Amino acid sequence: MQEKSINLEEALQVADEAVYAKTARHLTDVEMVILRGTWQNQTYEQMAVSTKYTANYLQRTAGPKLWRLLYEALGEEVSKTNLRTTLERRWHEVKRFRGESRLVKELESKEVKLPDSPVPLNSPYYIERPPIELDCYKAILQPGALIRIKAPQQMGKTSLLARIVERARKQDYYTATLSLELADSTVFTDLRKFLQWFCASVGQLLGLPNRLADYWDDIFGCNNNTTVYFEKYLLAECSSPLVLALDKVDWVFEHQAIAGDFCRLLRAWYDMARHSGWRGEIWKRLRLVVVHSTEVYSSLDINHSPLANVGTIVSLPDFTPKQVQDFARRHGLELTNKQVEQLASVIGGHPYLVRRALDYLERQNITLEELLQISPTEAGPFSDHLRQHLWNLQQHPQLAAVFRQVVLANKPVKISSDQAFKLYSMGLVQLHDNEVTPRYDLYRLYFAERLGE
C-alpha cells in the first residue's frame, strides 16, 4: 500500500527535529525559507522575492550549508531535488518504528537514553523550577534585556536557554544561539580575532554575509568596531528585536586577556539600551542571554566583572522532593516519600544526578538500595560526573586540600571566605553561615576515598 504523503509542516518538523537531535539547535530563519521554498518547488529567485535575502546568497551560501547540515543530521545526501522524498522517507521510518506516535515523542524517547544532553523542547522530561522560567520569559520581552544564567555544570542551563529562545521565536523575534565552545582555541588568544569571529558567527546565524571589511577600522579599537558592526549592520538588518543567546561563556572567562574587554562590551550594550534617542532605540532591540558555568570561579571571579549585578540574574537550584517525585513518575517509576528521602540523602536534588539515577533504575532493573550502594564507586552511574569534579580539583591543589578537610570532617568546617566561595561555585559544598559541609553525601563518600589517599 502506498504511504501517505506528508505536508509542509510535517516536513519542517522532521527536518527541525533531526537537526536539533544532531546539533542541539533549531533551524534558522534562512534555513526555514529555503526548506519552505524547496518544498513548494520554488527557484532561489522566487524564494528571494518575499524575503530579505538575495537569490545569490540563498543559492551559493545558505543553501549549500543547509544541505550539508541535513546530510549530517539525516545520514544521507540531501539536495534541492531530493528533499521531499528524503524527508517523507524519514517521517515514515519514524512512524513505523514508533507506531502512530508523533515524531517528537520518538525523539524524546531517544533523549531519555542520553541524560548528558540538553532536554529537547516539548519533552516530558523537562522539570520546571518556578518561578524561574516565567521570570525569564517576562524578562526577554523587555527592551535591552540582559539575562545571566549561572550554575555549576549539569544543572540545566542549556535546557532553560533553549526554552527562552523558543519563547522569543514565538514572539517573531530574530534569534541567534551561539555556543562559545565552538570557537577554535586560537580564537581566544587575541581580542581582535575573537571579536571578529563573534561578529561573523552571529551574522552567519542570522543568514547575513560577512561584511567586516566594510565596518572594521583598527584605529577605533575592537570593542568599538564590534559595536558599530552590530549597530549599523546586524541590528539594522533585523526588523524586530534580536535575542542573542550566548552559551558556554565560561570559555571566555578562562582567557583573562579577552574576558574583561568582552564583559565590558556586553555591559556597554546593556547601558546604551537605557539611553534615549535614536541610538538607544537601536540597542533596545537587542536582548542578551548569557549562560556560564560557575566552576570558572575557581580561577576567576565574574562578580568583580562589569557584568556583576546587571540585568536579570538566574541561579538554578536543586529539584525539590516533590519535583523529584514528579520526575520519577514521568520515567514510569513510583517512588514513595521515604524513597525520595533516601535518594535525596545521597544526591540531593541535583538535576543531572537525579536524571541519571532514574534512568539507571528504569533500565538496569535494580532496586534503589542497590543503586545507592554503588553510587560512590566507579561502577555507579555517577562516575563520569565525579571524575570531572576530581579533575577540576586536581587543577587547584590548595583547594583540593581544603576540600579534603571538609569531606573527612564529621561536622561543618570553617574555611576562608574565598575558599568557601570557590568550592560553593564548583557545586561541591553547602554554606552554613561561616562554615561548609559537602553538598551531597555522594561527594563525601567519593572524595573521602579519592582525596584521602
Q: Give domain status of residue 274, yes or no.
A: yes
- Same domain (yes/no): 208, 338: no
What is the chain's pLDDT, residue by residue, as a tens digit (453 residues)? 345 678 888 888 888 888 887 787 889 888 999 999 999 999 999 999 878 788 888 988 888 889 988 988 887 888 888 898 888 888 877 666 554 444 444 444 444 445 668 899 888 899 999 999 999 999 999 999 999 999 999 999 999 999 999 999 999 999 999 999 999 999 999 999 999 999 999 999 999 999 999 999 999 999 999 999 999 999 999 999 999 999 999 999 888 889 999 999 999 999 999 999 999 999 999 999 999 998 776 555 545 567 788 899 999 999 999 999 999 999 889 999 999 999 999 999 999 999 999 999 988 888 999 999 999 999 999 999 999 999 999 989 999 999 999 999 999 999 999 899 999 999 999 999 889 999 999 999 999 999 865
Q: Give domain status of residue 122, yes or no.
A: no
- Same domain (yes/no): 405, 356: no
- Same domain (yes/no): 96, 136: no
For residue 95, what pLDDT is reported?
A: 67
Structural domain range at position 341: 321-381
Q: What is the CATH classification number for the domain harbouring 136?
A: 3.40.50.300
For residue 164, what pLDDT is reported?
A: 97
- Same domain (yes/no): 302, 346: no
Domain endpoint, select from 342, 359, 381: 381
Helix (H, G, I), strand (E, B) or coil at 208: coil
Domain endpoint, select from 292, 315, 338: 315
Q: Give domain status of residue 118, yes or no.
A: no
Q: Give domain status of residue 125, yes or no.
A: no
Q: Evaluate the CA torsion angle 222, 224, 228, 230 in order and state its sign.
A: positive
Q: Give domain status of residue 126, yes or no.
A: no
Q: Give domain status of residue 164, yes or no.
A: yes
- Same domain (yes/no): 153, 279: yes
d(CA 451, CA 81): 60
Q: What is the CATH classification number for the domain harbouring 395?
A: 1.10.10
CA distances for 218 relative to 183, 197, 211, 221, 235, angstroms: 22, 15, 15, 5, 21
- Same domain (yes/no): 144, 283: yes
- Same domain (yes/no): 372, 411: no
- Same domain (yes/no): 301, 421: no
Cell reading at 313: 540574574
Contacts 24+ apart (CB under 8 A), 448-451: 448/407, 448/408, 449/376, 450/390, 451/393, 451/400, 451/403, 451/404, 451/407
- Same domain (yes/no): 247, 168: yes
Give the DSSP letter of residue 332: T
- Same domain (yes/no): 307, 328: no
- Same domain (yes/no): 150, 241: yes
Domain endpoint, select from 353, 381, 409: 381
Report how many domains make up the chain: 4
- Same domain (yes/no): 166, 268: yes
For residue 309, what pLDDT is reported?
A: 82
Q: Give domain status of residue 117, yes or no.
A: no
d(CA 424, CA 435): 11
What residue ranges in 237-308 does DSSP mark as E strands?
242-247, 286-293
